[in-house]
Amino acid sequence: MVIGAGPAGEVAAGRLAEKGLDVAIVEDRLVGGECSFWACMPSKALLRPYEALAELKRNPGAAEAVTGTLDVAAVLARRDEIVHDMSDDAQLPWLEDRGITLIRGHARLSGVRKVTVNDEEIEAKRAVFLTPGSGPLMPPIDGLDAVDGAWTNRDATIAKEIPESMVVMGGGVVGVEMSQAFQTLGCQVTLIEGARRLLPNEEEFACVELTEALREYGVEIRTGRKATKVEQAEDGMVTVHMDDGSTATGEKLLIALGRQPLTQDVGIEVVGLEPGKGVKVDAHMRVPGHDWLYALGDVNQRALFTHMGKYQARLAADHLLGHDHVLLHGADGPLSPRVVFTEPQVAAVGHTTETADKAGLIVDVITTSTSGNAGGSFYGRDAPGTVQWLVDRERKIIVGCTMTGAEIADFLHAATIAIVGEVPLSRLRHAIPAFPTRSEIWLKLDA
């Protein structure tokens, strides 16, 4: 039994079914989950056209072919296509092909290996995979409850119209991505972040470059200020009051202040856990003391990324199937690969200087310009960007990498393989990037 048909649930179900197990998956919203309909996929649909156009404009000879600006209606139409007009019909054949039983309804744990859904209790033969996902965290800010139509990621990503103005609360990934998307689609965005800077968990240089870019797009950024009160006028305009006395007003308010595990109503009290809290798991994604129960994806709060949920699903499914692939390699959890799809993009894997320091590692910091090589004459030309590697001075391997720049999301996997593979620098120097590609950034390690 798999509770939740988001990416983690689907991958686990698919992998188990392909190995011959009888699998049922329960979903009370849309098969495909938050990622497919309200997060990664629609947000990229809103961001990518601007990015592609920006890159084209940096290419003389092609730039002259552009005489217009983004077609907002076409962007939204393509986004609707990406989310299949909020229908999960397209996801069902994948389940059917694998003989997975789909049960539509809300599932709760109701005993050992028991799940109750639609008033029926079902006993799993082998195991229950709990993957309810996460939802937006709604902070207790004075007046927020009274706002009619405050947005979370679930509203912003599937918005049918671009508001004239918007206040975004929260400068994490959702906040910066949606700020850029809406600003470049014609909205005046004000972005508020309580911490000193945007993307507070990433390297300072990445934050600086992104902040500068967002400002150039016209986003008004206010950091180091916390919202104290929210008010809505009769015409619907929302005003956020901040702790320094300043205010920000917009037609829409987007709350992007973090995520909470969706465990209020999935029966985790049956195994002695507190509803509303995350579910701790061991390295196999099993809930300690309950060898029949795995918890995957955002619910275990290890790494809130679709790709890591899917990874956990592979580990957990393989474990149930008798294969132990667990590797305590140190590129899991907060060290997981992560990409912010703004322009410039921010991509990172492994340690930042801050987490390396906290982990007691002595690292050498090596930096270069993302486009400051021959390849940069053709791709990401004149776009800002920095690459930074952290080299463990003792072990002579890379333990962290942060990159910024135009269209560098797919550069990250080379770093991920180097870090997770613990490839020594003495070997990496023989891995030669092709000329003239921007991958020549890697030559900096053999300078």
Report the site for its own copies in 140-179 (rule: CB under 8 A): none
* Subset of 408-437 contacting its own copies (CB under 8 A): 409-414, 416-423, 426-437
d(CA 7, CA 307): 8
Q: Is 182 in the site for its own copies (CB under 8 A)?
A: no
299-336 b/e (C-beta count within 10 Å ≥ 16 → b): bbbbbbbbebbbbbbbbbbbbbeeeeeeeeeebbeebb
Considering only residues 241 through 280, tell me which ones interact with its own copies, judged by CB under 8 A.
none
Chain centroid offset of residue 236 CA: 31
Quote the least distance from Cβ 65 to its own copies, whole Å: 4
Question: By CB under 8 A, which span of 61-69, 139-147, 174-182, 279-287 interacts with its own copies?
Answer: 61-69
Distance of alpha carbon 374 from its chain centroid, rounded? 31
Site string for its own copies, 361-400 (x = CB under 8 A): -------------xx-xxx---------------------
| Binding flag, residue 52, its own copies (CB under 8 A) | yes
Q: What minimum distance in Å lies between the beta carbon of 433 and its own copies?
A: 5
> If you ran DSSP here, which 8-state letter would residue 142 be given?
B
Neighbours of 91 (CB within 10 A): 20
Do 140 and 259 meet the contact criterion of CB atoms below 8 Å apart?
Answer: no
The residue from 347, 361, 399, 403 that contacts its own copies (CB under 8 A) is 347
Closest CB to its own copies among residues 169, 425: 425
Q: Which is nearer to its own copies, 53 or 237 (CB)?
A: 53
Site for its own copies contains 344 (CB under 8 A): no
Site residue total, its own copies (CB under 8 A): 89
Beta carbon of residue 178, minimum distance to its own copies (angstroms, whole number): 16
CA distances from 365 to 209, 336, 352, 369, 391 (A): 18, 19, 10, 14, 7
Residue 375 Cβ vs its own copies, minimum distance, rounded to whole Å: 8
The residue written with tokens 């179900």 in the block is: 13
Closer to its own copies by Cβ: residue 242 or 326: 326
| Cα three-residue angle 337-201-149, rounded to 5 degrees | 95
Residues 6+ apart with CB under 8 A from 43: 153, 157, 174, 177, 178, 181, 341
| Least distance from its own copies to the Cβ atom of residue 275, Å | 28
Identify which of residues 20 and 245 has a Cβ nearer to its own copies in the complex: 20
242: β partners: 227
Q: Which stretch binds its own copies (CB under 8 A): 55-63, 119-127, 164-172, 219-227?
A: 55-63
* Span of 138-146, 165-173, 276-284, 403-411 interacting with its own copies by CB under 8 A: 403-411
Q: Does 60 bind its own copies (CB under 8 A)?
A: yes
Q: Pick the binder of its own copies from 22, 62, 265, 276 (CB under 8 A).
A: 62
Cα separation, 167 vs 170, whole angstroms:
10
CB 259, CB 298: distance < 8 Å: yes
